[in-house]
Amino acid sequence: MLCASFSALLVVWDDSMNQSNVKQIARQRILILYEQAKKVCKANPKLAMQYVVSARKIAMAAKTSLPIEFKRGTCKKCNSLFVQGVNCRVRIKQKREPHVVVTCLNCGNQTRILLKKKKEQKELEQDNYSNEAPC
């Protein structure tokens, strides 16, 4: 009986809220869970993993993307929170495109983060200056 009334309450609540409010609440809860996971990580890594899993589920349910800080600070395979030197290794590689490789020491998964070259940034700046009218 309690479950039926609770599900009916959820249906009414979902219909009355618009999509932007749901996404905003989801982002807030994701950030709260990420902060809690960072606080608890050293004392209780299993609990931190549960916080990360919950945050990922909230993001999927609300159809919103995770913040970049969250994506780069967690392992996509085992959901552990990265603590440099404890459960992850960070290396800079120069092959092909310069990139950072973060290796999870729990599961061995590698995450690559591309770095922009300085030449590309200078070219973009020069293009911006050439579009301006001379004084």
Q: pLDDT tens digit string along 74-102?
A: 999 998 998 888 889 999 988 888 899 99
pLDDT greater at residue 52 or residue 122: 52
Q: Using the structure block, give the residue that is written with the tokens 């990265």.
A: 82
For residues 77-107, one letter each, b for 16 or more C-beta atoms within 10 angstroms of the residue's C-beta and e for the rest, the string is eebbbbeeeebbeeeeeeeeeeeeebbbeee
Ranges of each domain in the chain:
20-119
Which amino acid, one-letter code, is at 22?
V
Confidence of residue 50 (pLDDT cuts 50, 70, 90): very high
Segment 6-44, tens digit of pLDDT: 343 344 445 556 778 889 999 999 999 999 999 998 899
pLDDT score for 53: 94
pLDDT greater at residue 132 or residue 21: 21
Tokens of 108: 């061995």
Instruction: Annotate 56-82 with three-state secondary structure.
Output: HHHHHHHCCCCCHHHHHHECCCCCCEC
Measuring CA to CA, which residue among 121, 115, 91 is closest to residue 105? 91
Burial of residue 22 (CB within 10 Å: 0-12, 13-18, 19+) is middle
Q: Domain 20-119: give its CATH superfamily.
A: Immunoglobulin FC, subunit C (1.20.5.420)
pLDDT score for 105: 92
pLDDT greater at residue 5 or residue 56: 56
Task: Report CA-CA distances (Å) from 80 to 101, 113, 130.
Answer: 16, 18, 47
pLDDT score for 126: 67
Task: Report CA-CA distances (Å) from 82 to 7, 18, 33, 91, 101.
Answer: 37, 35, 15, 14, 13
Residue 58 has pLDDT above 90, yes or no: yes
Q: DSSP assignment, residue 96? A: S
pLDDT score for 95: 83
Which range, of 1-15, 67-81, 102-116, averages the lowest pLDDT? 1-15
Paired residues of 84 in beta bridges: 88
pLDDT greater at residue 107 or residue 1: 107
